Amino acid sequence: DTGVSQDPRHKITKRGQNVTFRCDPISEHNRLYWYRQTLGQGPEFLTYFQNEAQLEKSRLLSDRFSAERPKGSFSTLEIQRTEQGDSAMYLCASITPGTPYNEQFFGPGTRLTVL
Amino acid sequence: KNEVEQSPQNLTAQEGEFITINCSYSVGISALHWLQQHPGGGIVSLFMLSSGKKKHGRLIATINIQEKHSSLHITASHPRDSAVYICAVLIQGAQKLVFGQGTRLTINP
């Protein structure tokens, strides 16, 4: 257990539905990352926050995806109008300022299946 | 071509064998990470390298900055080492990691 938690761990939804995932980082960590990992591949960067500010978004993050970190603590990732191609593991990671070379602590992930 | 390439993609070995997983990258980096992912998804950091070599128990990681190459070695492999091993680089000037596709290691008893 790295101290980063994600909820839910598994989500099955029908195409077209909206889903929301939550990530709770380690409490003193001010930077939070979201990644997507499809089967047999490494994680791909989606977005990251420094406190409540969203500083970078990948072009992978289409307009159906939105992420928030309203108080600089937990974060949510919402996918609207889900598509089968959204099926993946969604990972969250956090780091604390001054961490050398961006050492990240990963949550267990939320596995999304879109039927 | 991906910025980070790992080889092999899959590796099966017998308990006790010496294991090597390779990672090559094509960009300037500040650091390279080796990560371990067990079934179920959780990822843990094994090593962070900016130069040279690090050792932790039976695991050894090396990096050659000039050749843009890193290796992860496991000595006296054990079935509990079975996992996906992922190489990730921190690109110079960036604040995000770029990941390889992972190497699935299976150690048979």
Q: Quick check: helix, strand or coil at residue B76?
A: coil
Report which of B46, B41, B37, B40 is spatially closest to residue B83, judged by C-alpha positions: B37
**pLDDT (tens digit, 9 = 90+) per residue, A33-51?**
999 999 989 999 999 999 9
Q: pLDDT tens for chain A, 115 residues: list them.
A: 788 999 999 999 999 999 999 999 998 888 999 999 999 899 999 999 999 999 999 988 889 999 999 988 999 999 999 999 999 999 999 987 777 667 889 999 999 999 9
Interface of A with B (CB under 8 A): 2, 31, 33, 37, 40-45, 48, 55-56, 89, 91, 93, 100-109, 111
Look up residue A69 and give its amino acid. R
Count of other CB atoms within 10 angstroms of residue A71: 9
* Pairing, β A10-13 against β A110-114: parallel
- Read off the pLDDT band of B1 (50, 70, 90): low
β-bridge partners, A96: none
Q: Residue A93's closest chain B neighbor by CA?
A: B43
